[in-house]
Every structure is written in C-alpha cells, then in structure tokens.
Structure 1
C-alpha cells in the first residue's frame, strides 16, 4: 500500500473519531471505575472474608470483570479509534473476540451458579449443600464450557477488508477487526446465527435467574413470617425455645458465615454466648437473624439485575438487527455516537458489580472503613 493510501486511512480514522469519541469516553470511565472497584473487591474478599462458595463465585466474577477492564476494554477502545486499520493485527483481533466472549460467558455462568447456590441453601437447606470444593468444580466447569463456546470466534473473526474511496477516484482497501473475509459469502448467515445464539443465551440465563430468585424470595418471606411468629411465641412463653428443635424447616437452619458475610475482623470480635442472657442481644450479626438471608440474597439479586440492565440495550439492538436490519442501518447512520454507546453498553456491568458488592454489604463497608483508617493513621 502506498504511503498516500496509509495517510488517507488515518484520515478516515480521525474522521470516524468524531462520532466514536463519546463512546471512547464512556468506555474509558467504565475501565477506570471497574478497575478500581474490582481490585478493591478482589482484595477485600480474598484477604478479609472467610472461604465459602459465595465468596468463590464473587471472586471469580470480579476477576473476570477485572480482566475485561484490563484487556478487553483497552482493545475495544483502540478498535474504535482505528476502525479502518484495526484488522491489521490479526492475532490480537482473534484473541480479542475469543477472550471477550469467554469473559462474558463465564460471568453469566457465575450469575447462574450464585442463584443455584442461593436456591440450594435457602430452599433445600438439608439436601447436598454447596461446599467450597464443589464451588471450585463449578467454576472450572463453567470456564471450560465458556472456552468451548467461545473458541469458534477465532475462526469467525479476523481481518475484514472493505473498499473505501481514495484520491483521484481510486479505491483503497481498509482493514477492520470484524467477521473475517474468509466468510464473505456467508457473512449474513453467520451474523444471524451469532445474534440468535447470543439472544437465546442471554434470555435463557435471565429467565432462569428470574425463576430461581422468585422461588428463593417466596421461601425467604415464609421464613420471616415463621420467625416473626416464633418471636411472638417467645414473648408469651420463654420455655418455647426448648421445643424449637421439633421444627425441621428452614426457620431452624443455621445461617452460615458467608450469609453473614463474616470477615476476620468480625470473627475475632465474636460474642461469648455463655454470658448472654435472655434479655441480652448480641451487638453483631447472629446466625439466627431472620433478615440476614434477605440481605445477602438481595445483594445477589441486585448483581443479576445490574447485569440485566447492562445487557438489555444490546439485546434490543440484536433483535432489531435480526428482524429489522434496515432500521438498524438507519439508526447507525443517523445517530452514530448513540449507536456505538448502545452497542458497548454491556460493559457497564464491570463497573456496577463492585458498587453492588460494596454498598449492599455491611461487612464489606466495615472492612473498607478499617483499611481507610489504617491508611490515614499511617
């Protein structure tokens, strides 16, 4: 390619930057916020929280969100900045699409794993409970499944060469990181299959989450009602506590440390129950607090809801591209900057997840406050 053609492609890249700049700023904010948030989550949960299945799933989700912020988002920004020459780095292009699919599929599977763990813990507390070892097996299987499902991206995606206008009414070739030219005659079919696959996967995951959390929510409220009645009975007859063992239900299930989100600081300051009387109540979270299940499960629901909100725009865009491609073309050409933001909106979950883990978790905020006090004291 002549030097003048190269300069012209860079000019096309600079012209495209005007419409891509809002999206680049949007992705940059997500990258910085997500990096700081997920580093904080990984540190606090890894160093301060006791091992539990829920901790394993949260750490895995945060790790892949951090991976997206460090690897995926910078390359996505570079691809948008150099749209007309991004396909020149073939191996990086293929790795980007495969790892992009792998990361997001693994995050989806972790949401499902968290929902299943909550369901088994709350709705089936006495049947084959999840352990840390089982959680690690689930994580490995999820990663392997995501790797298998994302591997076709290395074949489908690559350097897509397309013509653009050059000087003196000539035609020059631009190279974009997209569907490879190998599939130029089947690009429409491959695109539809890919869109359909993602739509089915997204909708299937979210419908499963809705069903599981509805069942969990119903059980929790039954649990709270029974605990309320149990408290009223205690006030009428203090000796009823001795008969509580007769009721084998979730109301008598001991909430594990991961439901209390117990940290090393909380454990070290645990209460001596031998010195607690009927008129005394512990100052810290206790294992039989009826609101603990609700708080932890609500946090996980918020994480799933944040992912749904992040994915909803791109799912709508996929439906439009699948069933009304002309409308998609019009939208892309008329409001290009908004089209690119909607196209990349699913990245926002990488920044939302740490916020949910932090603001919805009292123990997390407690550990962060301790860390800040140590930093300021030094």
Structure 2
C-alpha cells in the first residue's frame, strides 16, 4: 500500500518523504481526532467537577469513596491518554518516541483495568447492601484499600505493555522509514503480543461476566423487594449506628396487629461517629437499643415517609452505578474486537477503503468514551449532584 503511494496514475515515480506520507495519512484520522478532542473537553472539567462535588458536598461512605476513585482514575486517564492519542493522530507515521509510547500505552491499559476492578468492588458493595442488608456494610477505609489493590493488580498483570510497546519501523525505501507507536520491531512477529492481547481480553471478559452476574442478582432482589413492599403488612426498623444511609432494613411480619417497642441493652457495643473518624465511641452506661415493630395500622404512613424514601434512594444509586458499569462494557467491547482482529489479521488495515479506515480509527478508540461519560451519568441520575453542578457553574459565571 505504501509502495503504491510512491507512484502516480501514469506510473511515474514520485519521491515522497516520510512527512509527505504522514500528511496523506492525517486526513484519515480527522473523525477520530475530533472525537478525541471532544471527549477531552468533556472529560477534564467533568471529572474535576465530580471530585469537587463529591468531596465537598457528600458525607463519607463507601459509595462516595468508589465514585471519587473512579473520577481520579478517569481524570488521570484523560490527562495521559487523550493528549497521547491526539499526538498519534496528528503524527501517525512519524512517532519515534519509544519510552513515551511504552509509558502511555501501559498507563492506558492500567487505568482502564483498574477502573474495571473498582466497578466489581462497587457491584459487590451494592449486592451487600441490597441482598445482605443486615450484614456489616463496607467501610470507607475498606473501599480505599480496594481501590489501591485494584491499581496494584493492574500494574502486576499489565507490565508486559512496557516491554512490548515501542517504535515499529516500516521501511518504504532505502531513505524513507516510517515510525509508529505500536508493538516494537523485535516483538512484532513473535507470539508474545497475541498472548498479551488474549490474556487482557480474557481478563476483561471475566470482569464483564462477574459484573453481569452480580447485577442480575441485585436486580432480582430489587424486584422482590418491590413486590414485598406492596404486599407486606409490617416493617421492622432497627436503630443502628452506621456511616451509611443507603441500606435497606426490611422485615417480613405479615398480619401483625399491635405495635410493640422492645428495649434491649447495648452491652458495650461501640458506635462510629457520622463524620467517619476512626475513633469508636462507646455507649453511655445504661444505654439501650430500641427495636420498633410497626404494625399494619401505622405501616402505610411510616413506610411511605421512611422506607419508600430509602428504597428510592438505594434504587437510584444502584441504577446510576449500574449504568456506569454498563457503559464501561459497551465502550470496551468494540475496542477489544478491533484489537483482536488487527492482531490476527495484521495487513487488514491496508486493504480497507478510505471510509473504512476512518471508521476503524474511531472504533479503535471507543474505550476513550468511558473516561468522559461518567459525569454525564451522575448528572442525569443524581438530582443533588445536578443541583450542586448548576450552583457551582452559576457561582463561577458570577465571578467572571
């Protein structure tokens, strides 16, 4: 294909430099370049706003910690991956910076894999709160540990990218050699790139399957809870000290006729203050725990005023995080398909038409959408986040 570019329709040989060939290649990348710049414009301020709002306006919880963790990963990904992609799209055949290629490719794989592992932790947290509401919820400290472990696992398993990637040389003539940021020359014809991509693809599919199973279980439980709330005659609420406010406490006491209040000693049970500090506060001497059993006479009012609000809050949060997970899967699937196809059919790109190459370059970067879309999901699914964003922007415009 490159050799054909060196001749005119009249078969007159024209001497083209690497810069000339690069200039001919850049127009094929225009749709992908516009797509990447647009995502950069959305992703940088969007994730910055998520960090500000959830840090300043939300109480401490595992859900908040996970959202902040995702925002940090996405923000760093925007700062590292997007500029690199813009450079590659503007200099596709003249990129001879092997160290930069290695580091940015490794960072891209690492951050996206870490995000997938954090999404698994979020799904487990949702499952625990909805399907196992009486168990101890995940703490903010545990959530932080999980995030750091996710990053560590990504680094351990994806370090081969630092070795495999680099400068790929394509000799066009004795004096013209093109330079690409791909699998470097000494590994290009070996089996190692295929092994790496297959391993990475299998791990991604496993992440997809785990997320699918967990959210199916959560969805089934939510449907059952909706049915339970519409048919049951009573609900038992137990006053507990927790650092979370989105957990369901539902009891099944159908047919109850009388209200009853049961007093139980706390027996030295410690509570954790709402500010999320690490210091446990022991109960006062003689303190009691109140277990209030509400009967059918007062259930309708109590359930609508307390349980319904809590259920709606849990449902909205779960739906929001499920959409984040779903779009992660949707964004990565085309990218994985393209990478597998390119690895197996190395010369397929050369036989594509001009429009096919343009589409190929966009689909190859489908995963970039994942870094920019989460703030949009939060603003659609979280009323308070949307209001805080509106207030923040009004405040900024007033200053200007």
Q: Deviations over 1:175-194 (max 9, x none)?
A: 221112232441xx223212
The Cα shift of 1:118 comes to 0.6
Higher relative contact order (CA 8 A, sep 6+): 1
**Aligned residues, how many?**
335
Rounded to whole Å, the distance in 2 between the matches of 1:176 and 1:327 is 17
Q: Distance in 2 between matches of 1:281 and 1:127?
A: 24
Distance 1:14 1:49, change over 3 A: same
SS at match of 2:112: helix
Residue pairs, 1:45-64, within 5 angstroms: 45-64=54-73
- One of 315, 335, 346 as aligned partner of 1:294: 315
- How far apart in 1 are the matches of 2:44 and 2:90? 21
The alpha-carbon deviation at position 19 of structure 1 amounts to: 0.5
Q: C-alpha deviations, 1:145-193, integer Å up to 9, x for none?
A: 111122211111112222024xxxx44222221112232441xx22321
Displacement of 1:85 = 1.9
Aligned to 1:222: 224
Cα drift, residue 377 of structure 1? 5.8
Q: Is 1:24 matched with 2:49? A: no
Q: Under a length normalisation based on structure 1, what TM-score does the superposition of the two structures give? A: 0.80
After TM superposition, the score normalised by the length of structure 2 is 0.75
C-alpha deviations, 1:190-236, integer Å up to 9, x for none? 23212212221221111111100010011112112222224xx3xxx
Choose the corresponding residue for 1:180, options 184, 191, 194.
Answer: 184
Residue aligned with 1:162, SS: strand
Deviations 1:303-354 (A, max 9, x none): 1111122112113324434666676654477611111101011101112111
Question: What displacement does 1:285 show?
Answer: 7.9
Residue 17 of structure 2: SS of its match in structure 1? helix
Specify the structure having the higher radius of gyration (Cα).
Answer: 2
Q: SS of the residue aligned with 1:125?
A: coil
Gaps of 5+ in 1: 1-6, 234-239, 265-277
How big is the shift at 1:140?
1.1
Structure 1 residues 345 and 285: CA distance shift in structure 2, 3 A: farther
**How far apart are the structure 2 equivalents of 1:214 and 1:149?**
28
Deviation digits for residues 22-43 of structure 1, max 9, x if unmatched? 1111111011111121111111
Instruction: Assess, with a 3 A threshold, how the Cα gap between structure 1 residues 285 and 99 changes in structure 2: closer, same or farther.
Output: farther
Distance in 1, Cα, partners of 2:329 & 2:229: 32
- Contact 2:123–2:215 (CA<8 Å) still a contact in 1? yes
C-alpha distance in structure 2 between counterparts of 1:175 and 1:129, whole Å = 52
